[in-house]
């Protein structure tokens, strides 16, 4: 049976055990609730896809407690995403990082156009989410809803979506809204050197404007 618990030292210790053992947890973020697991455990990742009924071609993000986690995971943000990240992280900004040869994340995907191994990442601008992530470490995550349904804004909505498929629901209160983060990839052939793969909380004009601050395009 799954449990719903407020975020506390005790529930976080329980979350660590669940993640370590390949289970699923639901956590609040600064956008919506997310269902999460160990990003190095392929069986746990399969559980996320099954619970969400998510198409296999769609990837999972990795939520990070800090920008320093990128280096520890052997991930790198290419130009101009490194500069954009300095402006929008933590927050509802999800850049696509490039994975190094030593990266052990099971969530990494290979870009068919470039052949590079890539991974979407995010640092939530949420005290509750960061408290969880500092305890569990980075988590593979996606919005807490069945594919095609509206993302959960409360823990009760997440429970309605997943029931006992999730081991622990961490209740951090209502999140700001149903809109997810903005996903951006580096693209040397795209406008301004980027491709916006999903427009979310941070609108495209805001991203584009940021690229021309300080007198020129970022990364030039």
HEC secondary structure over the chain: CCEEEECCHHHHHHHHHHHHCCCCEEECCCCCCEEEECCCCHHHHHHHHHHHCCCCCCCCEEECCCCHHHHHCCEECCCCHHHHHHHHCCCCEEEEEEECCCCCCCCCEECCCCCCEEEEEECCCCHHHHHHHHHHCCEEEEECCCCCCCCCCCHHHHHHHHHHHCCEEEECCCCCCCCCCEEEEECCCCHHHEEEEECCCCCHHHHHHHCCHHHCCCCC
Q: Taking the CA of residue 57 as centre, how many other CA atoms within 13 Å lie in the half-sphere pointing to its CB?
A: 2
Domain that holds residue 122: 3-214
Banded model confidence at residue 16, pLDDT cuts 50, 70, 90: very high
pLDDT of residue 54: 87
Among residues 66, 89, 85, the alpha carbon closest in space to that of 211 is found at 85
**Bridge partners (DSSP) listed for residue 181:** none
Answer yes or no: is pLDDT of 217 > 50: no
Q: Give burial (CB, 10 Å; 0-12/13-18/19+) of 51.
A: buried
Number of domains composing the chain: 1
How confident is the model at residue 220, as a pLDDT?
38
**Looking at the domain assignment, is residue 149 inside a domain?**
yes
Task: Give domain status of residue 219, yes or no.
Answer: no
The answer to whether residue 208 sits within a structural domain is yes
φ, ψ dihedrals at 120, nearest 5°: -75, 135
Mean pLDDT over the full length of the chain: 93
Predicted structure pTM score = 0.93
The pLDDT, as a whole number, for residue 183 is 96
Nearest alpha carbon to residue 140 among 64, 202, 31: 64
Res 139 pLDDT > 70: yes
Residue 216 has pLDDT above 60, yes or no: no
Within a domain: 178: yes
Domain assignment present for residue 136? The answer is yes
pLDDT score, position 115: 85
Nearest Cα residue to 129 out of 114, 120, 141 = 141
**187 is a domain residue:** yes
148 C-beta neighbours (distance < 10 Å), count: 8
> Do 3 and 169 touch, CB atoms closer than 8 A?
yes
Q: Among 46-55, 65-74, 104-113, 193-202, which stretch is predicted with the lowest mean pLDDT?
A: 104-113
Q: Is residue 174 part of a domain?
A: yes
Average of pLDDT values for 106-123?
91
- Find the CATH number of the domain harbouring 50: 3.90.870.10
Residue 215 has pLDDT above 90, yes or no: no
pLDDT of 102? 96
**Per-residue pLDDT tens digits for 163-191:** 999 999 999 999 987 788 999 999 988 88
Please tell me the distance from the alpha carbon of residue 59 to that of residue 50, in angstroms, as a whole number: 13
Q: What is the mean pLDDT of residues 91-96?
A: 96
Range with the poorest average pLDDT among 62-66, 73-77, 175-179? 175-179
220 in a domain, yes or no? no
pLDDT at position 123, please?
98
């Amino acid at each position: 049976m799954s449990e719903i618990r407020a975020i506390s030292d005790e529930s976080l210790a329980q979350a660590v055990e669940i993640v370590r053992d390949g289970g699923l947890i639901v956590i609040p973020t600064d956008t919506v609730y997310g269902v999460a697991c160990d990003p190095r455990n392929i069986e746990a990742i399969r559980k996320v896809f099954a619970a969400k009924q998510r198409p296999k071609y769609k990837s999972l993000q990795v939520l990070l407690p800090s920008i320093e986690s990128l280096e520890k995971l052997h991930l790198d943000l290419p130009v101009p995403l490194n500069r954009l990240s300095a402006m929008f992280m933590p927050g509802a900004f999800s850049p696509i990082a490039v994975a190094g040869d030593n990266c052990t994340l099971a969530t990494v995907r290979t870009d068919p156009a470039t052949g590079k191994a890539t991974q979407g990442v995010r640092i939530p601008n949420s005290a509750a989410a960061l408290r969880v992530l500092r305890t569990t470490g980075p988590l593979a995550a996606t919005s807490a809803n069945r594919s095609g349904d509206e993302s959960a804004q409360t823990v009760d909505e997440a429970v309605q979506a997943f029931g006992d498929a999730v081991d622990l629901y961490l209740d951090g209160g209502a999140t700001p809204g149903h809109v997810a983060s903005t996903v951006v990839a580096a693209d040397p052939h795209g406008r301004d050197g980027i491709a916006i793969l999903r427009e979310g909380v941070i609108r495209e004009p805001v991203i584009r404007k940021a690229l021309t601050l300080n007198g020129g395009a970022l990364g030039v």
